[in-house]
Structure 1
């Protein structure tokens, strides 16, 4: 299918990518760290782990309503573990070549990870960070709030309505929707399938990208 609201291909002004599960696969590494964290606090990992994806670490911990928790210390514990554990972190198939074909001023990454963690994971996966990288520190509210995607569009100098958001998790999908962008759901790294009305992309090797002379981006999946 062609990613477009109608029958004719649409040229987008920019592509906005989530990172984990969308450009790179880090699910196993993240779930190892979060499983250890959950067990430290007597939380059932089986029920807890599906809720961590696409959300800032502080927001995930805050939702647990743990009595007397030192939020900053817990966030630091999780982040340290995630930065140190990059075993198995890799690009989604075709992702490196795909983003290399994009004009540098026409794409951004919007992640719930902090800047140090984002840099560590992108490096481990062999993905060159884009000029516009929006991380947890850049917004007051994380996904599903749309602030990150709107900020990325602003920094690229494009209208968010002319952007295509690439996402894989419910919080990020909701953020893209709320921002006013169209959304494409990447399924390559799914460990917990979800239902979505949005077009889906199994991996970037199955996508056909055309970069127009004026920089417009047309995608068929």
Structure 2
């Protein structure tokens, strides 16, 4: 683990959404907790397993008898769209994102587009020029497909991008895509081990753009 900012520069920044630029933990755990309880799951053990992945992937992996993952994911999605109470930006995120040229960053989220738009609005974060959502990929995180697509949309190579993540599924996706990774720890109740840069939040961070158009992280 390291909290020293990387000295290298990047062509673009790619951000996960939930837990990385906004905190939707309370909302997500209310909705998923009710669903898990209704299916007889151990809610306390289940909740940490569902973060950072597409809802349909989480449900499919459970392999519950008589459960249609597509139908159940739709029910959960509507519940999350209806419940955005307590969805707030990670401290400093709005200002930090504003310091990045709009053509130099993207959101790469496991949330469907309708939920992504709803949560961004609730957190007061302007929708970015580029966004990758659950519908855009055939396989979700930890598969790297999402970050490869995010880099393509911004027009950069993943090897020249810095991925911001908060959970292991996303970290693995960023690694597999060939990107550098920074881990945002603001919502971590139980930290996980990583050799990547760890950042609590964005309050003392800003972005510097070099004359060649490449980005670097800087302390304020």
TM range (shorter): over 0.9
**Counterpart of 1:44?**
42
Give the direction of change, closer, same or farther, for the CA distance of 1:2–1:208 in structure 2 (3 Å limit): farther
2:56 to 55, 58, 62: 58
- Superposed CA deviations along residues 10-46 of structure 1, whole A, max 9, x for unmatched, are 1110000000000000011100100000011000001
Aligned residues between the structures = 217
Length-normalised TM-score, structure 1: 0.95
User: Within 5 Å, which residues of 2 pair with 1:134-173?
Assistant: 134-173=132-171
> In structure 1, how many angstroms separate the alpha carbons of the residues matched to 2:31 and 2:164?
25
Residue 211 of structure 1 pairs with residue 209 of structure 2: yes
Paired residue for 1:122, among 115, 120, 145? 120
Work out which of the residue numbers 3, 6, 17 in structure 1 matches 2:5: 3
User: Where does structure 1 lack aligned partners over 5 or more consecutive residues?
Assistant: none
Give TM-score scaled by structure 2 length: 0.96
Further displaced range: 190-199 or 152-161: 190-199
Unpaired runs of 5+ in structure 2?
none
In angstroms, what is the RMSD of aligned CA positions?
A: 1.1
SS at match of 1:124: helix
